Amino acid sequence: MKSQEDSSSNSRFTYHVFLSFRGEDTRKAFSDHLYTALVHAGFRTFRDDDKLERGEDIKFELEKAIRESRMSIIVFSKSYATSTWCLEELVMILKRRTSGHAVLPVFYDVDPSDLRKQSSSKEAFARHEEILKS
């Protein structure tokens, strides 16, 4: 039986899970299966490909969805870090950790140590850092 505290803390969240992934790497495979499993298990799950309408302010909507999620699952894949959108989501998610937002990293078809070695990832992080500074 759920306690009142559990019910009240869940009611302030629109989503249980915010799912962050690089679409071209995982959309039609792992991420779809993960999303389906989460939904079937009763977790309200946000993924940007089926929640955002064309013409919406995507960055604002993503920030809102992250704020309204209890936790995030980040599916790191080979080209996750080469996507500006993925890096933006990652920054937004990590900022929320200080307010109790849980983060679960999943490494799909990539070893965690490989991400540090990828020159394309390093370049993408450096470009993103320069954009944030300006």
* pLDDT for the residue 116: 64
Cβ contact 46:15 at 8 Å = yes
pLDDT tens, per residue, the chain with 134 residues: 344 444 445 568 999 999 999 988 776 789 999 999 999 999 999 998 755 665 567 888 899 999 999 999 999 998 888 888 898 899 999 999 988 999 999 999 888 877 666 555 455 555 545 655 55
Query: What residues are annotated to the active site?
Result: 89
Pick from 55, 34, 54: nearest CA to 46: 34
pTM: 0.76
Cβ contact 62:9 at 8 Å = no
* pLDDT for the residue 8: 45
* pLDDT for the residue 84: 86
Cα–Cα distance measured from residue 77 to residue 113, given in angstroms and rounded to the nearest whole number: 12
Is 131 exposed, middle or buried (CB count within 10 Å of its CB: 0-12, 13-18, 19+)?
A: exposed
